[in-house]
Structure 1
Amino acid sequence: MTTPTATDSPTTQRSSNPSAKTQSPLIKGRTIWISDIHLGYRDCKADYLLEFLDNISCDTLYLVGDIIDMWAMKRKFRWPKEHYNVMLKLYDLANNGTRVIYVPGNHDEPMRRFTGNLFGPIEIIEEHEYTCANGKRYLIMHGDAMDAYINLSHITRFCGDIAYNLLLFINRWANRWRKWMGRPYFSLAGMIKDNIKGAKDAIETYQKEAMDEARRRGFDGVICGHIHYPAMLEQEGIRYCNTGDWIENCTAIVEDYSGHMRLLHYSDQLQWQENPAEKLAQAA
């Protein structure tokens, strides 16, 4: 595992870009983590992600795996303009002062062969150690290695895949209706998953094993993705942070310059855009 921290390279000044927005970014942080974008997959929320990326400013941006869904593209190749624009935006951020670190996951596992190399201006690292502004050390990993601790039969996994695809179908059409009604995005799939006992048990097992892995390796916490379930919690002195995804939840984790970390939902950003006075009051 490579061990440089996000503070190894000095923060550089953003260069002027005639295509960039001139307005002040809504979301500013020292470091931002996102994962499970699944570019190339039908349910990728690339349009929401583009809006998010257009409104952030940070020293370091972590891409915590499953950025490109090579599994989905192997079944059926699709690469809409919005997905291409996400890649262009990530390149633009990396070329204009943001350190972008890509930690591949299981859906983009072939990229792990290029650990230690650059993908254009983006660094590829299989795992990473990150030190927060408050000195806390975090293990950054996608998290698919924790699947070994979740004991599900092949039949259960197969049925789970079918059920998950059905949830995404419901989620897709429910949010088309919400958008038509002028209402913000809402993860209906996540709400349903919260109420399925088997899914909750698997999520809790994953969280426990991820924290145990961080503890065994001497970290103060772990930042991961993989299970499409955003969360921040602490147990027995170990912090667990899951970035969520851009399939169901549209979430990110943001660290400020004091080391405080928060889980940000896309709907939060949308609310800030609609209520700038409230945003300023919250920041005061």
Structure 2
Amino acid sequence: MLRFALFVLFGSVFAGCASIQPYYTPNPDIAANEVEDYEGPLDAELVAGTNIAQRIARREAADYAFIGSAAFTGAADEDWTSAMVRLGRTLKTEKIDYFTWYAGTDTATGMTSVPVMRTSFGTVWGPDGPRTVPVTMLDTDWLPYSYTVPRYEYRVLYYKKRKEPLPMGIRYEWPGEELGRRIGTRKALEITLVVPGRTGWKNDLFDGDVILAVNGRTPTKELMRQFCRAPAGGKLKIWRDGQIVEKTISADPSEGK
């Protein structure tokens, strides 16, 4: 992996990337009051592969919230990295992960010079008076031509530091369509991250567990957020590898819930 610090860019750098417009998608599950705005140098990391969920989980484990993603498409020589940084500055984000992959070719056009010999006629004067003679000279024609250029796609993930640690040290999402068919409902929450040493880990919750009920109620993200911050703990009904498991979660006062 290549890691480097990206600092504030001014003037001609931003002017050069003005034509590159990213398609930004915010993360609707992160509220502005959950994260901290950041003004310092951006920390960007080029990521091998395309496992976006894995990268988000790694950042979440360090208490950085994924606030949104941007997509760029362009030729290799376009200064899309400046656009990436500019958007990060606008969002006041601190961490960036970015992916790049080959996406085919585009056709571009240009002009090329072609040498040609041109013949014209001129008048020369001799002992017998004026006479017309051919004159040949080297000239240049400009002709249009087309060529192919590689096209790349870039996906950029933006993060901000959480104002407080990830509650219970777990992250959860709505189950996908395939998982929903397996468990018989999509009114559930799939645990996608368990941070070692935190409350969820101490209570034997695992990646891939699916929460079917929270204290006997159908789970929602807001209900789960309240549960994670409740000082008294509570009960979770979990689907795990085809089995239903009832878990009593003990709160950990050291996490400040």
Pick the TM interval, shorter chain. under 0.3
Highest CA radius of gyration, 1 or 2? 2
Q: What TM-score, normalized to structure 1? A: 0.23
Structure with greater proportional strand content: 2
Structure with a larger share of its residues in helix: 1
Please report the TM-score for the alignment, with normalisation by the length of structure 2: 0.25
Greater RCO structure (CA 8 Å; 6+ sep): 1
